[in-house]
Structure 1
Protein backbone atom coordinates (compact mmCIF):
# COMPACT_ATOMS: atom_id res chain seq x y z
CA UNK A 1 0.00 0.00 0.00
CA UNK A 2 1.53 3.29 -0.95
CA UNK A 3 1.57 6.22 1.41
CA UNK A 4 -0.79 8.89 0.12
CA UNK A 5 0.16 11.70 2.49
CA UNK A 6 3.07 12.39 4.82
CA UNK A 7 0.78 13.58 7.62
CA UNK A 8 -1.31 10.46 8.07
CA UNK A 9 0.02 9.85 11.56
CA UNK A 10 -0.18 13.10 13.52
CA UNK A 11 1.13 11.36 16.67
CA UNK A 12 4.57 10.59 15.25
CA UNK A 13 6.79 10.04 12.28
CA UNK A 14 6.06 7.28 9.82
CA UNK A 15 8.88 4.85 9.16
CA UNK A 16 10.56 4.51 5.80
CA UNK A 17 11.56 0.87 5.20
CA UNK A 18 15.31 0.40 4.80
CA UNK A 19 15.00 -2.46 2.33
CA UNK A 20 13.08 -3.40 -0.79
CA UNK A 21 9.41 -4.19 -1.17
CA UNK A 22 8.82 -7.93 -1.27
CA UNK A 23 7.28 -9.27 -4.48
CA UNK A 24 4.07 -11.25 -4.04
CA UNK A 25 5.04 -14.80 -3.10
CA UNK A 26 4.23 -17.56 -0.63
CA UNK A 27 7.15 -16.35 1.54
CA UNK A 28 6.14 -16.32 5.19
CA UNK A 29 6.38 -13.26 7.40
CA UNK A 30 7.03 -14.37 10.97
CA UNK A 31 5.22 -12.48 13.73
CA UNK A 32 6.68 -13.12 17.16
CA UNK A 33 3.85 -12.95 19.69
CA UNK A 34 4.18 -11.97 23.34
CA UNK A 35 2.55 -14.10 26.05
CA UNK A 36 0.27 -11.16 26.89
CA UNK A 37 -1.36 -11.59 23.47
CA UNK A 38 -1.96 -15.35 23.73
CA UNK A 39 -4.86 -16.92 25.63
CA UNK A 40 -5.06 -20.70 25.96
CA UNK A 41 -2.44 -21.08 23.23
CA UNK A 42 -4.31 -18.87 20.75
CA UNK A 43 -3.18 -15.36 19.76
CA UNK A 44 -5.68 -12.59 20.45
CA UNK A 45 -6.52 -9.69 18.14
CA UNK A 46 -3.66 -7.73 19.72
CA UNK A 47 -1.09 -10.12 18.20
CA UNK A 48 -1.31 -8.43 14.79
CA UNK A 49 -2.31 -4.98 16.04
CA UNK A 50 -0.29 -2.00 14.82
CA UNK A 51 0.83 0.12 17.74
CA UNK A 52 0.26 3.76 16.83
CA UNK A 53 2.53 5.71 16.98
CA UNK A 54 5.15 3.22 18.23
CA UNK A 55 5.26 1.01 15.13
CA UNK A 56 5.45 4.05 12.85
CA UNK A 57 3.16 2.39 10.30
CA UNK A 58 5.12 -0.85 9.85
CA UNK A 59 4.01 -4.02 11.64
CA UNK A 60 7.21 -5.85 12.62
CA UNK A 61 7.85 -9.28 11.13
CA UNK A 62 10.87 -11.37 10.15
CA UNK A 63 11.30 -12.57 6.56
CA UNK A 64 11.37 -16.31 5.89
CA UNK A 65 13.84 -15.67 3.05
CA UNK A 66 16.32 -14.37 5.66
CA UNK A 67 15.71 -16.54 8.73
CA UNK A 68 13.75 -19.44 10.18
CA UNK A 69 10.86 -19.14 12.61
CA UNK A 70 12.99 -20.71 15.35
CA UNK A 71 15.94 -18.37 14.74
CA UNK A 72 13.63 -15.33 14.69
CA UNK A 73 12.11 -16.45 17.98
CA UNK A 74 15.50 -17.08 19.57
CA UNK A 75 16.80 -13.64 18.60
CA UNK A 76 13.71 -11.88 19.96
CA UNK A 77 13.59 -14.01 23.11
CA UNK A 78 17.20 -13.12 23.89
CA UNK A 79 16.50 -9.38 23.79
CA UNK A 80 13.29 -9.73 25.81
CA UNK A 81 14.95 -11.84 28.52
CA UNK A 82 17.88 -9.40 28.69
CA UNK A 83 15.26 -6.71 29.40
CA UNK A 84 13.98 -8.94 32.24
CA UNK A 85 10.65 -9.67 30.56
CA UNK A 86 8.95 -12.97 29.83
CA UNK A 87 10.02 -14.58 26.53
CA UNK A 88 7.51 -14.60 23.66
CA UNK A 89 4.85 -17.29 23.44
CA UNK A 90 5.73 -18.32 19.90
CA UNK A 91 5.71 -17.44 16.23
CA UNK A 92 2.75 -17.21 13.89
CA UNK A 93 2.95 -16.20 10.24
CA UNK A 94 1.18 -14.69 7.27
CA UNK A 95 2.45 -14.80 3.71
CA UNK A 96 3.41 -11.97 1.43
CA UNK A 97 0.58 -13.17 -0.85
CA UNK A 98 -1.94 -12.87 1.99
CA UNK A 99 -0.78 -9.31 2.61
CA UNK A 100 -0.83 -8.46 -1.10
CA UNK A 101 -4.40 -9.77 -1.38
CA UNK A 102 -5.33 -7.08 1.15
CA UNK A 103 -3.35 -4.33 -0.60
CA UNK A 104 -0.71 -4.39 2.12
CA UNK A 105 2.90 -4.39 0.99
CA UNK A 106 5.69 -6.14 2.87
CA UNK A 107 9.21 -4.75 3.04
CA UNK A 108 12.62 -5.82 4.16
CA UNK A 109 13.52 -3.45 6.99
CA UNK A 110 16.82 -4.63 8.50
CA UNK A 111 17.73 -3.38 11.95
CA UNK A 112 20.91 -3.46 13.96
CA UNK A 113 21.21 -7.03 15.18
CA UNK A 114 18.40 -8.34 12.96
CA UNK A 115 19.06 -8.41 9.23
CA UNK A 116 15.87 -10.48 8.72
CA UNK A 117 13.56 -7.80 10.12
CA UNK A 118 10.76 -6.58 7.89
CA UNK A 119 7.48 -4.76 8.06
CA UNK A 120 3.92 -5.04 6.81
CA UNK A 121 3.04 -1.59 5.51
CA UNK A 122 0.12 0.07 7.28
CA UNK A 123 1.49 3.60 6.81
CA UNK A 124 -1.44 4.73 4.65
CA UNK A 125 -3.79 3.55 7.43
CA UNK A 126 -1.91 4.95 10.43
CA UNK A 127 -4.27 7.87 11.08
CA UNK A 128 -7.20 7.72 13.47
CA UNK A 129 -9.59 8.22 10.53
CA UNK A 130 -8.48 4.84 9.11
CA UNK A 131 -8.67 2.95 12.41
CA UNK A 132 -11.72 0.82 11.52
CA UNK A 133 -10.19 -0.35 8.23
CA UNK A 134 -6.81 -0.93 9.89
CA UNK A 135 -8.45 -3.05 12.60
CA UNK A 136 -10.36 -5.08 10.00
CA UNK A 137 -7.15 -5.81 8.08
CA UNK A 138 -5.29 -6.69 11.28
CA UNK A 139 -8.08 -9.17 12.09
CA UNK A 140 -7.86 -10.69 8.60
CA UNK A 141 -4.11 -11.19 9.02
CA UNK A 142 -4.71 -12.79 12.41
CA UNK A 143 -7.27 -15.13 10.82
CA UNK A 144 -4.70 -16.14 8.17
CA UNK A 145 -2.12 -16.84 10.87
CA UNK A 146 -4.59 -18.83 12.96
CA UNK A 147 -5.59 -20.94 9.96
CA UNK A 148 -1.88 -21.74 9.43
CA UNK A 149 -1.36 -22.44 13.16
CA UNK A 150 1.81 -21.59 15.04
CA UNK A 151 4.97 -22.05 12.98
CA UNK A 152 7.19 -22.26 16.07
CA UNK A 153 6.45 -22.81 19.75
CA UNK A 154 9.44 -23.25 22.09
Structure 2
Protein backbone atom coordinates (compact mmCIF):
# COMPACT_ATOMS: atom_id res chain seq x y z
CA UNK A 1 0.00 0.00 0.00
CA UNK A 2 1.31 3.42 -0.97
CA UNK A 3 0.63 6.43 1.23
CA UNK A 4 1.21 9.92 -0.19
CA UNK A 5 1.82 12.69 2.34
CA UNK A 6 3.74 15.92 2.81
CA UNK A 7 7.41 15.43 3.59
CA UNK A 8 8.55 16.22 7.12
CA UNK A 9 11.56 18.50 7.79
CA UNK A 10 13.35 15.70 9.66
CA UNK A 11 13.21 13.59 6.45
CA UNK A 12 15.60 15.94 4.61
CA UNK A 13 18.49 13.46 4.87
CA UNK A 14 16.31 10.62 3.62
CA UNK A 15 15.24 12.70 0.60
CA UNK A 16 18.86 13.58 -0.17
CA UNK A 17 20.03 9.98 -0.04
CA UNK A 18 17.06 8.77 -2.10
CA UNK A 19 17.69 11.38 -4.81
CA UNK A 20 21.40 10.52 -4.97
CA UNK A 21 20.67 6.78 -5.11
CA UNK A 22 18.12 7.32 -7.88
CA UNK A 23 20.62 9.42 -9.84
CA UNK A 24 23.32 6.76 -9.37
CA UNK A 25 20.95 4.11 -10.73
CA UNK A 26 21.68 5.42 -14.22
CA UNK A 27 25.31 4.30 -14.03
CA UNK A 28 27.00 7.59 -13.20
CA UNK A 29 30.36 7.29 -11.45
CA UNK A 30 31.08 8.52 -7.91
CA UNK A 31 32.68 11.76 -9.09
CA UNK A 32 29.58 12.64 -11.08
CA UNK A 33 27.28 11.84 -8.14
CA UNK A 34 29.43 13.98 -5.85
CA UNK A 35 29.20 16.85 -8.37
CA UNK A 36 25.40 16.58 -8.07
CA UNK A 37 25.36 16.31 -4.26
CA UNK A 38 24.85 20.03 -3.51
CA UNK A 39 21.99 20.34 -5.98
CA UNK A 40 20.32 17.18 -4.64
CA UNK A 41 20.80 17.96 -0.94
CA UNK A 42 17.71 18.84 1.08
CA UNK A 43 17.78 20.72 4.37
CA UNK A 44 15.00 20.69 6.97
CA UNK A 45 14.15 24.33 6.19
CA UNK A 46 13.83 23.45 2.45
CA UNK A 47 11.38 20.70 3.25
CA UNK A 48 9.40 23.00 5.53
CA UNK A 49 8.96 25.75 2.94
CA UNK A 50 8.60 23.72 -0.27
CA UNK A 51 5.70 21.58 -1.43
CA UNK A 52 7.35 18.15 -1.23
CA UNK A 53 5.25 14.98 -1.19
CA UNK A 54 6.64 11.56 -0.29
CA UNK A 55 5.37 8.12 -1.22
CA UNK A 56 5.57 5.78 1.74
CA UNK A 57 5.58 2.05 0.98
CA UNK A 58 5.62 -0.43 3.86
CA UNK A 59 6.45 2.39 6.27
CA UNK A 60 9.50 3.67 4.35
CA UNK A 61 9.94 6.60 1.97
CA UNK A 62 10.14 5.07 -1.51
CA UNK A 63 9.90 8.22 -3.63
CA UNK A 64 9.03 11.89 -3.65
CA UNK A 65 8.30 14.91 -5.80
CA UNK A 66 8.29 18.67 -5.37
CA UNK A 67 6.13 21.27 -7.05
CA UNK A 68 7.82 24.66 -6.91
CA UNK A 69 7.22 28.16 -8.20
CA UNK A 70 4.46 30.69 -8.33
CA UNK A 71 1.30 30.03 -10.36
CA UNK A 72 0.42 29.92 -13.15
CA UNK A 73 3.80 28.45 -14.21
CA UNK A 74 5.43 26.04 -11.80
CA UNK A 75 8.25 23.56 -11.84
CA UNK A 76 8.40 19.89 -11.14
CA UNK A 77 11.58 20.36 -9.14
CA UNK A 78 12.03 16.71 -8.25
CA UNK A 79 10.54 13.32 -8.96
CA UNK A 80 12.67 10.50 -7.61
CA UNK A 81 11.93 6.89 -6.72
CA UNK A 82 14.15 4.40 -4.92
CA UNK A 83 16.03 2.26 -7.45
CA UNK A 84 14.29 -0.91 -6.24
CA UNK A 85 10.92 0.63 -7.13
CA UNK A 86 11.78 1.71 -10.68
CA UNK A 87 9.36 0.01 -13.06
CA UNK A 88 6.73 -0.71 -10.39
CA UNK A 89 4.37 2.14 -11.30
CA UNK A 90 5.38 4.31 -8.34
CA UNK A 91 6.71 7.01 -10.66
CA UNK A 92 3.32 7.21 -12.38
CA UNK A 93 1.55 7.47 -9.00
CA UNK A 94 3.83 10.35 -8.01
CA UNK A 95 3.43 12.01 -11.43
CA UNK A 96 -0.36 11.91 -11.29
CA UNK A 97 -0.37 13.27 -7.74
CA UNK A 98 2.08 16.01 -8.73
CA UNK A 99 -0.25 17.16 -11.51
CA UNK A 100 -3.23 17.15 -9.12
CA UNK A 101 -1.19 19.11 -6.57
CA UNK A 102 -0.07 21.59 -9.22
CA UNK A 103 -3.69 22.11 -10.28
CA UNK A 104 -4.77 22.63 -6.66
CA UNK A 105 -1.97 25.19 -6.21
CA UNK A 106 -3.17 27.11 -9.29
CA UNK A 107 -0.51 26.07 -11.80
CA UNK A 108 -1.46 25.80 -15.46
CA UNK A 109 1.84 24.28 -16.55
CA UNK A 110 4.92 22.70 -15.04
CA UNK A 111 8.43 23.01 -16.43
CA UNK A 112 10.84 20.12 -15.89
CA UNK A 113 14.63 20.21 -16.12
CA UNK A 114 14.90 16.48 -16.62
CA UNK A 115 17.50 13.85 -15.89
CA UNK A 116 18.31 12.72 -19.46
CA UNK A 117 17.65 9.06 -18.64
CA UNK A 118 14.18 10.02 -17.30
CA UNK A 119 13.15 12.03 -20.35
CA UNK A 120 11.37 9.02 -21.90
CA UNK A 121 9.25 8.62 -18.76
CA UNK A 122 8.16 12.25 -18.85
CA UNK A 123 7.37 12.13 -22.57
CA UNK A 124 5.30 8.98 -21.99
CA UNK A 125 3.43 10.83 -19.24
CA UNK A 126 2.48 13.63 -21.66
CA UNK A 127 5.25 16.20 -21.27
CA UNK A 128 6.83 17.71 -24.36
CA UNK A 129 10.41 18.74 -24.95
CA UNK A 130 10.76 22.50 -25.35
CA UNK A 131 14.55 22.87 -25.32
CA UNK A 132 17.65 22.34 -23.25
CA UNK A 133 19.01 23.97 -20.13
CA UNK A 134 22.45 23.96 -18.54
CA UNK A 135 22.96 21.59 -15.62
CA UNK A 136 23.27 23.29 -12.24
CA UNK A 137 25.80 20.66 -11.16
CA UNK A 138 28.07 19.79 -14.07
CA UNK A 139 29.50 22.62 -16.21
CA UNK A 140 28.94 22.09 -19.92
CA UNK A 141 26.25 19.43 -19.42
CA UNK A 142 22.87 20.12 -20.97
CA UNK A 143 19.58 18.73 -19.68
CA UNK A 144 16.32 18.25 -21.57
CA UNK A 145 13.84 20.97 -20.69
CA UNK A 146 10.26 19.70 -20.76
CA UNK A 147 6.83 21.17 -20.19
CA UNK A 148 3.46 19.73 -19.32
CA UNK A 149 0.08 21.40 -19.26
CA UNK A 150 -1.69 20.81 -15.97
CA UNK A 151 -5.16 19.34 -16.59
CA UNK A 152 -7.99 21.55 -15.32
TM normalised by structure 1 equals: 0.30
Q: Which has the higher contact order (CA 8 A, sep 6+)?
A: 1
Q: Could you say which structure has the higher strand fraction?
A: 2
TM normalised by structure 2 equals: 0.30
Q: Could you say which structure has the higher helix fraction?
A: 2
